[in-house]
Amino acid sequence: MIALTMNVWHGLAGRGHVRFREFENSARREVRWQMILEELSARQADLVLLQELNPLETRALELRRKLGGRILIRHDQAGVKFFGRGLPENLSTGLGLLFSSRVRLVDSESLQLSGVGFSGARFSLHLGEIRSAIAAWVDHPDRGRILVINTHLHHGFEATPILRELLREAHADGRVHQTELERLEVALAEARDRRLLELDRLLEFVDRVERRRPVDSILIGGDLNSPPEGVVAKGLAAQGWLDLHAARGAAEPTWDATRNFANHKLQADFEFPLPTFGNPELQKLYRAFDDRPRRIDYLWAKGELARATARAQLVFDRPNAEGFCASDHFGVMVRWS
């Protein structure tokens, strides 16, 4: 069996009213999308977890036509829309969970992990970030019944040792003032607490449905926006989940501005999800932190899939002839023998 997770990158700046600013033109974006379709077709994965599909319904239809099988979708960011029309015009992004013809879908459910309002295909009403998950119970001919969950957690920075060291250095040489550090601690704590809330709600859901409907394995994957030393990975590991990328592979970075330079260069002026308090040195510091390679995309397992022999590797990590990769993330693929 093969499972694969990938943030396909919508290419939007994340800010705007009528339209979100786009980092690339439509021709370049379509080239990347075709790269994704071709590699997914070649990989022939049984379970494919995709994030940032935009426009969600159009991309889902293209995936179905190219790959066959079945796909479940869940909107997570659409803004204010009525009967599919509204603002921002170019925002209709979400999650996709694709199954090959070898997999039988038994049931599915989706849940909102954080955010105020709701987001859907025809009706959407939210002014801030919403985070969601999509879950499915499937039967695989070799691996039995699996509960598979695809999610994309809050993107705010976490106060990792690396970020704290950068802040300490900036404070020591006078680029960041003590009052700014103190206010920043509040913002960092809010980002941490929101991601912890999302994880808690996700694991509460798993505990609840597992008692009602036992399975052979559970697989949680997606863009968790937290490094291995962060609260999400530590929380999952503490509850007995296995990080398949680390345990069954080399655990290379999935967010890598060095290897994935062409895509990350386009986002050089991205406004990070932390306040600058009018201090341009903080924006430079956030950029320096974001440019450091790290791992934020995962496949975590419990049950038979955690015990079985498997091999994990990066996918979508090779540039095309023009020098850019399929996304600003690399994907993670696990193959069970």
Phi, psi of 5 (to 5 degrees): -125, 145
Classify the C-alpha dihedral 249-254-257-262 as positive or negative: positive
Query: Quick one: tokens of 298?
Result: 């995962």
pLDDT confidence of residue 122: 86
Answer whether 205's CB lies under 8 Å from 143's CB: no
pLDDT confidence of residue 30: 97
Contacts of 79 (CB under 8 A, 6+ apart): 86, 87, 88, 91, 124, 126, 127
Residue 165 neighbours by CB distance under 10 Å: 11
Q: What is the pLDDT along the chain (337 residues), one digit of tens a residue?
A: 999 999 999 999 987 889 999 999 999 999 999 999 999 999 999 999 999 999 999 999 999 999 999 999 999 999 999 988 999 999 999 999 999 999 999 999 999 999 999 998 889 999 899 999 999 999 999 999 999 999 999 998 989 999 999 999 999 999 999 999 999 999 999 999 999 999 999 999 999 999 999 999 999 999 999 999 999 999 999 999 999 999 999 899 999 999 999 999 999 999 898 999 999 999 999 999 999 999 999 999 999 999 999 999 999 999 999 999 999 999 999 999 9
pLDDT confidence of residue 121: 80
φ/ψ bin of 319: left (φ > 0), alpha (ψ from -120 to 50), beta (otherwise): beta
Q: Per the omega criterion (within 30 degrees of 0), is the bond before 55 cis? A: yes
- CA distance linking residue 239 with residue 232, whole number of Å: 11
- CA distance linking residue 281 with residue 201, whole number of Å: 36
* H or E, element range at 284: helix 280-290
Query: Quick one: tokens of 67?
Result: 């790959």
Answer whether 184's CB lies under 8 Å from 274's CB: yes
- CA distance linking residue 11 with residue 264, whole number of Å: 10
Taken as a whole, the chain contains a residue count of 337
Contacts of 140 (CB under 8 A, 6+ apart): 1, 46, 102, 103, 146
Answer whether 268's CB lies under 8 Å from 261's CB: no
pLDDT confidence of residue 116: 95
Q: What is the CA radius of gyration of the chain?
A: 20
Q: Per the omega criterion (within 30 degrees of 0), is the bond before 280 cis? A: no
pLDDT confidence of residue 84: 87
pLDDT confidence of residue 292: 94
- CA distance linking residue 293 with residue 333, whole number of Å: 19
CATH of region 2-336, choose from 3.30.70.3270, 3.60.10.10, 3.20.20.70, 3.10.129.10: 3.60.10.10
pLDDT confidence of residue 167: 96
Helices (H) and strands (E) in the chain, counts: 9, 15
∠ Cα 307 310 314 (to 5°):
130
Q: Judge if pTM exceeds 0.85.
A: yes
Domain residue ranges in the chain: 2-336
Q: Return the beta strands (E) in 85-159 as ranges.
A: 85-87, 93-99, 104-114, 123-125, 131-140, 144-152
Using alpha carbons, select from 19, 28, 17, 18 the residue that is nearest to residue 9: 28
